[in-house]
Amino acid sequence: MPIAKRGAASRPRTQVRLLAAGALLLSLLFAPHTAAAADTLSTVLIDERFGAQTVPANFGFPAGASIGGGVLKVTENMRNYTTSVSRFDPSIMSEKTLDLRFDWKTSIASDGMKTGLEFRDDLGRLVFAIAATGSQLRYGLTGPDSSSATAPDSLNPTWIKTGFDRTKWYTVDLHIDFTLGRVQYSIATKEASPRVMASGTGAITGERLAKFVACNYYGTGVQSIDNFRLARPDHAAEGALAGSSVYAFGDSIVYGHSYSRGFVNLVAEREGMVLTKYAVNGATVGPVSGPSTGKILTQVRAASSQAPDFVVFDGGTNDALTLHELDGYEIGAVGDSYDPGSFDTGTFAGSFETTIHAMKQKWPTARLVYVPVHKLGSRDWETQLALRAVTLEAAEKWGVAVADVFADTTLDTRIESHRVAYTFDGLVGGFPGTGGTGTHPNIAGMTEFYVPVLTMRLADLAGVATERNSGA
């Protein structure tokens, strides 16, 4: 029986000239939020917390499953190599792009036992799998096709293995794109400061989401599942960005800080885009006290002369510091002239316009996208608002699209819980950690806030919204 759907710092020096009136207005518009993430970019198909019995019972699993204590338990009292299959509603099988998240825990006791979960299409082709032994976390995107009638070793997914703590809960996040045949995944501990255990993007053979399979490969080990949420991104690119080229410029938020996969990387991976990233840590828009390589304009001038389809850039995060450190550097104002000779490059505004002009001159056919970063607890608030006013005015003047993470998401690292959960300073086990200063988004920060907003803007520029609205 198909699974039923359910809805659901210290004060700076005063030498900077701030745009006081605009800053006051924006501060009222963008006061701190308490929500962790916005749901405005997706349509929820299933949102099950297992606080009561489901319809169909036990989330559609015909055997080895029960609901109690606010969780779904599967692989209860199942024999070796056996399965229990819950089928998704036919309407879900028609979806081409899905976001799936759920919490998972296993009570597996030893390395001589193994249980797991598999997601497959109606022909048995794999979408994603997760499993565990007593000491190993396993996950897979590829493997033999299976009817899921049984789970012998010969039909196991091709496992990628890592050590883990079986006493903890884990959150699995999947972005599934059946048009492109790929899954972007993240597995992290479920705690106040989550540790990422695995993250990546890979090709899959599954072509739709049809079956949720609980597998007792051998031994005994009850698995617990909670907070199962399946959603359709409302602004999915639907394959329209595949093969397109994108250049990325900016600072450490674009580069990724100490992690090479910044948010533009994650978008390019999941959409099949060809990315060339020129961003460098510490870059500014305006004058720098160090070498000129620290300027975003220098990145643009050094980039390939071959025009990309898209140019994505940020800028201003580090200027919010240098404006208070560099004598004579001021925010300035956007002028009426389009003559670069009139731009005051001693100011942020003049330097920002110079950078946009250089991009347009070098790649006149490219579509430019500016990304205002999230609300930063690590920078002076009034300075952020003043810089934002200038960048938005300049973007409008020059016809630059805006992927507005600042306004269109709730990520605000002035809120302590956001700072801890969504930013990092260093790597843990090769992946971004948590508890950062509030500047650099970790994988959760990027995938929950940055990636949806940038994907939406790129998809709009690619004409996806127009085609969808016209019924094409």
Residue 397, CA distances (Å) to 64, 383, 410, 458, 459 in order? 62, 21, 27, 20, 22
Please answer whether residues 358 and 343 qualify as being in contact, where contact means their C-beta atoms are separated by less than 8 angstroms.
no
13 occurs within a structural domain: no
Please answer whether residues 211 and 121 qualify as being in contact, where contact means their C-beta atoms are separated by less than 8 angstroms.
yes
Do 397 and 316 belong together in one domain?
Answer: yes
Tokens of 102: 């759920």
pLDDT-based confidence at residue 109 (cuts at 50, 70, 90): confident
- Mean pLDDT, to the nearest integer, of 453-466? 87
Question: What pLDDT does 157 receive?
Answer: 98
Do 219 and 243 belong together in one domain?
Answer: no
3 occurs within a structural domain: no
20 occurs within a structural domain: no
SS3 content of the chain, % helix, strand, coil (to 5): 25, 25, 45
Do 329 and 207 belong together in one domain?
Answer: no
Do 229 and 250 belong together in one domain?
Answer: no
Tell me the CATH number at 126.
2.60.120.200
Report the share of the chain in percent with pLDDT over 90. Answer: 86
Do 33 and 105 belong together in one domain?
Answer: no
Q: What angle do CA 138, 176, 115 make, to 5 degrees?
A: 25
Instruction: Please tell me the total count of domains within the chain.
Output: 2
| 314 contacts: CB under 8 Å, gap ≥ 6 | 250, 251, 253, 254, 370, 371, 372, 373
1 occurs within a structural domain: no
367 occurs within a structural domain: yes
Q: Mean pLDDT score of the chain, rounded to an integer?
A: 91
Do 186 and 293 belong together in one domain?
Answer: no
| DSSP secondary structure code for residue 257 in this structure | T
Residue 167's CB: how many other CB atoms inside 10 A?
Answer: 8
Peptide linkage before 308 cis (omega within 30 of 0): no
Tell me the CATH number at 362.
3.40.50.1110
225 occurs within a structural domain: yes
**Domain range for residue 160?**
42-233
- The rounded Cα 144 to chain-centroid distance in angstroms is 29
Residue 101 φ then ψ, to 5°: -140, 140
For the cut 90, the answer to whether the pLDDT of residue 331 exceeds it is: yes
Low-confidence winner among 1-15, 70-84, 134-148, 418-432 (lowest mean pLDDT)? 1-15
Do 224 and 260 belong together in one domain?
Answer: no
Of 137, 114, 139, 118, the C-alpha closest to 127 is 118
Could you please report the per-residue DSSP string of 323-348?
Answer: TTTSTT-B-----S---GGG--TTBH
- Decide which of 233, 255, 288 is a domain's last residue: 233
| DSSP secondary structure code for residue 78 in this structure | P
Render pLDDT for 230-269 as a digit per residue (tens, 0 to 9).
999 988 999 999 999 999 999 999 999 999 999 999 999 9
Question: What pLDDT does 2 receive?
Answer: 56
- Mean pLDDT, to the nearest integer, of 341-345? 96
- Mean pLDDT, to the nearest integer, of 361-373? 98
Do 311 and 421 belong together in one domain?
Answer: yes
Question: What pLDDT does 462 receive?
Answer: 94
For the cut 70, the answer to whether the pLDDT of residue 3 exceeds it is: no
Do 203 and 286 belong together in one domain?
Answer: no
77 occurs within a structural domain: yes
- Decide which of 188, 203, 233 is a domain's last residue: 233
Q: How far apart are CA 348 and CA 391, in angstroms?
A: 9
pLDDT-based confidence at residue 33 (cuts at 50, 70, 90): very low
Render pLDDT for 382-422 as a digit per residue (tens, 0 to 9).
999 999 999 999 999 999 999 999 999 999 999 999 999 99
9 occurs within a structural domain: no
pTM (predicted TM-score): 0.91
Residue 277, CA distances (Å) to 120, 226, 355, 446, 471 in order? 35, 38, 16, 16, 35
Do 143 and 266 belong together in one domain?
Answer: no
Do 58 and 145 belong together in one domain?
Answer: yes
For the cut 70, the answer to whether the pLDDT of residue 301 exceeds it is: yes
Tokens of 118: 């598999």
- Decide which of 169, 198, 233 is a domain's last residue: 233
Do 179 and 215 belong together in one domain?
Answer: yes
Three-state secondary structure call for residue 416: helix
- Mean pLDDT, to the nearest integer, of 39-56? 89
For the cut 90, the answer to whether the pLDDT of residue 353 exceeds it is: yes
Question: What pLDDT does 290 receive?
Answer: 67
